[in-house]
Chains A and B, each alone.
Chain A
Amino acid sequence: MDLFEAIFWFLTAMAIGSALGVILSRNPINSVLFLIATFFAISGHYILMNAQFLAIVNIIVYAGAIMVLFLFVIMLMNLNADVEPQKSRLVQFAGIISGGILFLLILAALRDMKAAGVIEKTATDIGLMKNLGKTLFQNYVFPFEISSVLFLSAMIGAMVIGKKETLVIDKN
């Protein structure tokens, strides 16, 4: 077992264990912290797959921006004090069935899959910033601009939805 393999298995164990921690922990703040650990493990996988720019973007955007937003909202709502009520046993059983059975099915399908025609080229510099930027601004300019429009509309929508209303909806 060389170093690459050891790092792969360490990152895999970290990702899956932290993902289980996200799902199983009662306190939402612990869920957010486990999710940040999961994102770091996934970024490590990106670096192993020679996509350095994407690893950095993943850490900055997910662990830096989105998770801070989540933590802020959780602390704003004071959800950290109480213990969250769980769904009933029936729903949990249904979740295990629908998640687990499909998981086993896909695992069985993956195990028999022949990875034919796979060419493994190591140590290319295709995922580095220079090539990525060139391709982004030559072939992907239109989706890039469209995503900026998407961000603008999402910003306006979030401000309109989150604005304080004077109308109080009756609970019943």
Chain B
Amino acid sequence: MNEISLNHYLFVSCALFFIGVYGFLTRRNLITMLMAIELILNSININFIVFNKFLFPDKLDGLFFTIFIITIAAAEAAVAIAIIINLYRNYKTIDVEETNTMKF
């Protein structure tokens, strides 16, 4: 417990965050982009828990922020998957480059 400090956990969450950002920018599949968003949300969750544990170890605020982030992520995934299914029904693809009806 003496060697692992706050910075180690921040390195982990930082790496996960930017892996998610790279995936969100470079994939064309809508479902994979949604998975990249989930990665980003999880890195934020690690940040909340780490700051709660190391800076305010007798409080619970970071844990509740994380619980509400998980809640919102579940709702967001449900709505996004409904949109993806509707998109697939109308266009027969979920490629973000192909669905450009509302682009201009």
Contact = CB atoms under 8 A, between A and B. Distances in A.
Given A23-B22, A120-B54, A16 B16 contact: yes
Contact of B82 (A107, A118, A157): A157
Interface in A129-163: 131-132, 135-136, 140, 143, 147, 150-151, 154-155, 157-159, 161-162
Interface in A59-74: 61-62, 65-66, 69-70, 73-74
A132 B79 contact: no
B58 A126 contact: yes
Contacts of A31: 32, 35
Contacts of A73: 31, 81, 84-85
Interface of B is mostly: helix
Interface in B50-72: 50, 53-55, 57-60, 63-64, 66-68, 70-72
B23 A23 contact: yes
Interface range on chain B (Cβ under 8 Å from partner) = 35 or more
A99 B78 contact: no
Nearest to B3: A5
Given A5-B3, A98-B21, A99-B22, A19 B75 contact: no
Contact of B36 (A22, A74, A110): A22
Contacts of A66: 38, 73-74, 77
B31 A154 contact: no
Interface in A90-111: 91-92, 94-96, 98-100, 102-103, 106-107, 110-111
Contact of A120 (B1, B25, B70): B1
B70 A57 contact: yes
Nearest to A131: B60
Contact of B26 (A38, A92, A122, A169): A92
A29 to B, nearest CB: 10
Contacts of A5: 3-4
Interface in B64-104: 64, 66-68, 70-79, 81-86, 88-91, 94-95, 97, 101
B64 A140 contact: yes
A23 B15 contact: no
13 contacts: A19-B15, A22-B23, A54-B66, A61-B70, A62-B42, A73-B31, A103-B15, A117-B55, A120-B54, A120-B57, A124-B57, A124-B58, A150-B71
Interface of B: 1-12, 14-16, 18-23, 25-29, 31-32, 34-36, 38-39, 42, 45-46, 49-50, 53-55, 57-60, 63-64, 66-68, 70-79, 81-86, 88-91, 94-95, 97, 101
